[in-house]
Amino acid sequence: MSDTSISRAEPLVEPRASEFTPVTLGVLLACVIGVIVGPTGLVISSFSLFIDPISAELHWDRSHVALLVTWLGLAVALSSPFKGWAVDRWGARALVLPLTALLAVCMACTAWVRADWQLYLLFLLMGLLAPGNIPYARILGGWFNHRRGAAYGLLGLGFGVGGPLALYAGNLCIEAFGWRTTYLIYGLLEGLVALPLLWWLFRERPVVVSASSRRRPTEGSTPRQAWAGITFWLILANLLLGVFAVTGVIIHGVPLLVEKGLTRSDAVDVLSALWLGMIVSQPLLGLALDRYNSPRVALPFALLAVLGMLVLIQAGQHGWLWAAVFLIGLGAGGETGTTQYFLTRYFGLRHFSVIYGSVQPFTFAIAISLGTYVLGVMYDRSGGYGLSSQVLLAAFSVATVLLLGLGRYRYTATGLSNKGATPP
């Protein structure tokens, strides 16, 4: 066998202590910044701030405005399988850099829309261009083995930190310059902050190319094998319900809290507690996943989200509302922050990007796009968020129960088959 015949061999597996190095920390930093200033960190996290100003200027009802996120989510859903295939075929860096550059232009152009169709088109393009978590999860899965849960937890900080930053910065910019200029600023952040960092630090992990290394090829289920088992669908259902509930609170959070009696500024302060909770819980969840070889470690976190939603429904005072939203943030990792890790442990790394890419259409088309629109319709028809809050509570609860159906991991942290595990 020639040396080049193992060009797709498994990445080198290093001791645990060596996994956090200047190189890997640079890759992790680039991933986190990419999430913070990307469509998820900026556009979706702060979208509740734009509902009222867009509605007032364009004379749209609430469900009409929420439809913008629906278009963005549907575009992500349609393009994610191709992005997953492209990452496995050409690498994460080859996909992320051009998409980030085009995203910067697209976000900035939102400042100059003059017709309804132009705004819908730009949100559609944002969804088509958004890299999502696929390349970031894939590249971190290659660099981290024993500390993969911690790495994914720190990646989640991109959303946890980006959320409150987007809320406060977006609120200040909208009040000072208007919603159009705010999107221009978002585009500048994407092009002048995220793109240079990704160009400098975002690197694929070198793979073994010598036959003398005696490394086995990367193991993993094929997409068809993954889709044929119940485990994939349990993970998917847990993610769908969790993302629907968390995104529902994020997208409709400011008007929902204003309905509870808060001012707009106070609502922004309270909603920022959700991301504070995520900042606290995501690294803890990642460490727990690395420490305990069981998916059940996510259960306590998920139960906190259920408790938080119960308190939010009943609360009427500022302090209790803050505590409720904080609990939802603490529990969000158990509902949504485990998917990438679970997929690597149940299906391996060999076809991870394609399998993870197949999850995204369901997540964005159903949980984010349709879910956000349905919550807006519920508000328009009932005149309040009472029914929507009950639906969100039910989603959190069922997502938590689904975690109980997950069995023993099929693959080890290093990507090798875990003999004796039940097929997924």
Give me the helix-helix angle, 299-314 and 318-336, nearest 10°. Answer: 150
More confident residue, 368 or 103: 103
Residue 3 is assigned to a structural domain of this protein: no
Q: What is the DSSP string of 261-328?
A: T--HHHHHHHHHHHHHHHHHHHHHHHHHHHHSSSGGGGHHHHHHHHHHHHHHHH--SHHHHHHHHHHH
Q: What is the per-residue pLDDT for 41?
A: 74
Residue 414 is assigned to a structural domain of this protein: no
**pLDDT tens digits, residue range 39-71?**
777 787 788 788 888 888 888 877 778 778 778
Question: CB-side exposure of 359: number of CA atoms within 13 Å?
Answer: 26
Q: What is the per-residue pLDDT for 85?
A: 81
Residue 372 is assigned to a structural domain of this protein: yes
Helices (H), 146-222: 148-177, 179-189, 195-201
Dihedral sign for Cα atoms in the order 279, 282, 285, 291: negative
What's the pTM? Answer: 0.67
Q: What is the per-residue pLDDT for 217?
A: 47
Domain boundaries, position 306? 19-204+216-405
Residue range 136-147: mean pLDDT, rounded? 79
In angstroms, rounded to a whole number, what is the distance separating the alpha carbons of residues 79 and 417? 30
Average pLDDT of the chain, as a whole number: 80
- In degrees and rounded to multiples of 5, residue 9 shows phi and psi of -70, 170
Domain count, the chain: 1
Residue 335 is assigned to a structural domain of this protein: yes
- Asked if residues 388 and 379 have their Cβ atoms less than 8 Å apart, the reply is yes
- Asked if residues 272 and 163 have their Cβ atoms less than 8 Å apart, the reply is yes
In the numeric block, which tokens belong to residue 117? Answer: 């169709």
Q: Is the pLDDT of residue 341 over 80?
A: yes
CATH number for the domain including 91? 1.20.1250.20
pLDDT-based confidence at residue 234 (cuts at 50, 70, 90): very high
Q: Is the pLDDT of residue 289 over 60?
A: yes
Q: What is the per-residue pLDDT for 414?
A: 65
Among candidate residues 302, 341, 298, the one with its CA nearest the CA of residue 150: 341
pLDDT-based confidence at residue 364 (cuts at 50, 70, 90): low
Residue with tokens 């003999």: 419
**pLDDT tens digits, residue range 168-204?**
888 888 888 888 999 999 999 988 988 998 899 888 7
Query: 417 by DSSP, 3-state: which?
Result: strand
Among candidate residues 149, 142, 145, the one with its CA nearest the CA of residue 208: 142
Please name the amino acid found at residue 299: L
Residue with tokens 């680039």: 30
Q: What is the per-residue pLDDT for 8?
A: 37
Residue with tokens 């073994």: 208
Asked which of 134-138, 148-152, 313-317, 364-368 is least confident by mean pLDDT, the reply is 364-368
Q: What is the per-residue pLDDT for 17?
A: 47
Residue 6 is assigned to a structural domain of this protein: no
Residue range 9-32: mean pLDDT, rounded? 68
pLDDT-based confidence at residue 211 (cuts at 50, 70, 90): very low
Q: What is the per-residue pLDDT for 102?
A: 93
In angstroms, rounded to a whole number, what is the distance separating the alpha carbons of residues 280 and 283? 7
Asked which of 198-212, 299-313, 353-367, 397-411 is least confident by mean pLDDT, the reply is 198-212
Residue 14 is assigned to a structural domain of this protein: no
Residue 413 is assigned to a structural domain of this protein: no
In the numeric block, which tokens belong to residue 93? Answer: 């860096």
Residue 297 is assigned to a structural domain of this protein: yes
